[in-house]
Homo-oligomer: A and B are copies of this chain.
């Protein structure tokens, strides 16, 4: 008879549930500016500490401090701020449109704007992005027409995707923005493949991809990091850790045991952990990784530490599984407020200009939406011709699809 004590199964639980007071006491927020910035060509094994720290540039007074300060000119900062404000205004409008029954579904990126927009600013326009559904900021940063985005959301007659895709599943090759998939994580290793192709061709463009904390659990995450490591692919692999995957907190994805950035270590890749609500930190980390990739040093994994302020999607009600005021308690603040404060601290911005800009972006969105709705909304009769439903399954339509189209009589 052995006398060993019984085992027990451990199920991770978040700090706070509805009714509890939000609790981020366990979260360490290092001061801005204290994390070292190694050269972008530093060997991965010498910079493992970066996977456990938190790269921050903007301090609580809105000053940009430390070695990661990208020293962006005020004009660029103002553009960044405006794109973030425009993105938020766009989200608000489209969210309302869904509530008004003008479309079936919508997803906001509120509070996470910097994760996509600052990165887009640090990348070149022709660097290929493989986003998840929460990086609409990239398209907006690249001046993709809001009207066209809205037409996709409305699946209307001007939807470039011909009403085939769920709202927000944009695609624009000419803007180096890959077609968004409903299947989580599939784009991560695809980005690695694109990057390998670029390297194979002696091109100088790199790839970047974004997935969420929850999505890191998919096998494709492992495929991406492993192939990127083996072939030293010029790609930036971003994990947007917004703390939640629908109703499950990041601990269910493995985020309680260690950082997502540290996943890089086991592949011999650098892992950077970054304040995702700090426009300058996201910019600087992306720039560092891009320099490394262009220098043929391969891939970098970046964990963008942020918080999903809104529901997962319009189908979700977060008050069912987390304190509704958790977002307010989030220690890293709001990316728009923080960049605004910084610009004001620099003397390059003011409350007045901010208010004016806020008015402008809301008006810009309103006007765009007016035009988009004039091309129809979901359920209306202004939509792509039904015929097109049978197109693009293959380059040429095979007999069986032609026959099916005839059966439908279109």
**Which residues from chain A sit less than 8 Å from chain B, CB to CB?**
2, 4-12, 44-45, 124, 196, 198-200, 202-204, 206, 217-223, 226, 229-232, 234, 251-254, 256-258, 262-269, 271, 294, 296, 298
Cα distance A223–B217 when bound, in Å? 7
Residues of B within 8 A of A231 (CB): 9-11
Selected A-B contacts with CB under 8 Å, 8 pairs: A7-B296, A9-B196, A219-B219, A222-B222, A230-B252, A230-B253, A262-B266, A265-B265
Contact of A262 among B10, B206, B265 (CB under 8 A): B265
Closest A-B pairs by Cβ, 9 of them: A219-B219, A257-B268, A222-B222, A263-B266, A258-B268, A6-B202, A4-B204, A7-B199, A9-B199
B residues in contact with A230, CB < 8 Å: 12, 251-254, 256-257
User: Of B4, B12, B198, B253, which one neighbours A294 at CB under 8 angstroms?
Assistant: B4
A229 touches B202 (CB 8 A): no
- Copies of this protein chain in the complex: 2
Q: Tell me, in angstroms, the Cα distance from A266 to B257 when the chains sit together.
A: 9
Select from chain B the residue with minimum beta-carbon distance to A12.
B230
Q: How far is the CA of A10 from the CA of B200 in the complex (A)?
A: 9
CB-nearest residue of chain B relative to A45?
A: B258
For A262, give the chain B residue with the smallest CB separation: B266
Contacts A202-B8, A219-B223, A266-B266: A254 and B229 contacting too (C-beta < 8 A)? yes
Q: Is the CB of A6 within 8 A of B258?
A: no
- List residues of chain B with CB within 8 A of the CB of A258: 44-45, 265-268
Distance, CA A45 to CA B262, complexed state (A): 11
Beyond the given pairs A4-B204, A217-B222, A230-B251, 6 more chain A to chain B contacts, judged by CB atoms under 8 angstroms and listed by A's residue number, are A6-B202, A6-B204, A7-B199, A9-B196, A226-B253, A229-B257
**CA distance in complex: A206, B263 (Å):** 26
| Minimum CB distance partner of A220 in chain B | B219
In the bound complex, how far is the Cα of B263 from the Cα of A263, in angstroms?
8
**CA of A199 to CA of B222 in the docked complex: distance in angstroms?**
27
CB within 8 Å for A7 and B203 given contacts A45-B258, A265-B266, A268-B257: yes
Separation in Å of the A263 CB from the closest CB of chain B?
A: 4
Residues of B within 8 A of A253 (CB): 226, 230
B268 touches A254 (CB 8 A): yes
Closest Cβ of chain B: how far from A369's Cβ, in Å?
Answer: 36
CB distance from A261 to the nearest CB of B (A): 9
By the criterion CB–CB under 8 Å, are B7 and A202 in contact? yes
Contact status B268-A9, CB under 8 Å: no
**A366: shortest Cβ distance to chain B, in Å?**
38
Instruction: Give Cα A4 to B5, complex, Å.
Output: 62
Contacts of A296 in B (CB 8 A): 5, 7-8, 10
Whether A7 pairs with B267 at a CB distance below 8 angstroms is no
Give Cα A2–Cα B204 distance, bound, in whole angstroms. 9
CB distance from A183 to the nearest CB of B (A): 14
Q: How far is the CA of A7 from the CA of B232 in the complex (A)?
A: 10
C-alpha gap A196/B12 in the complex (Å): 14
Q: Tell me, in angstroms, the Cα distance from A265 to B111 when the chains sit together.
A: 30
Q: Is the CB of A254 within 8 A of B267?
A: yes
User: In whole Å, how far is A309's beta carbon from the nearest beta carbon of chain B?
Assistant: 25
Query: A265 — which chain B residues lie within 8 A by C-beta?
Result: 258, 262, 265-266
Once the chains bind, are B257 and A200 in contact (CB under 8 Å)?
Answer: no
Contacts of A44 in B (CB 8 A): 257-258
- In the assembled complex, the CB of A40 is this many whole angstroms from the nearest CB of chain B, namely 14
Given A219-B223, A222-B221, A251-B230, A203-B266 contact (CB < 8 Å): no
Q: Give chain B nearest CB distance to A6 CB in angstroms.
A: 4
Given A219-B219, A219-B223, A7-B234 contact (CB < 8 Å): yes
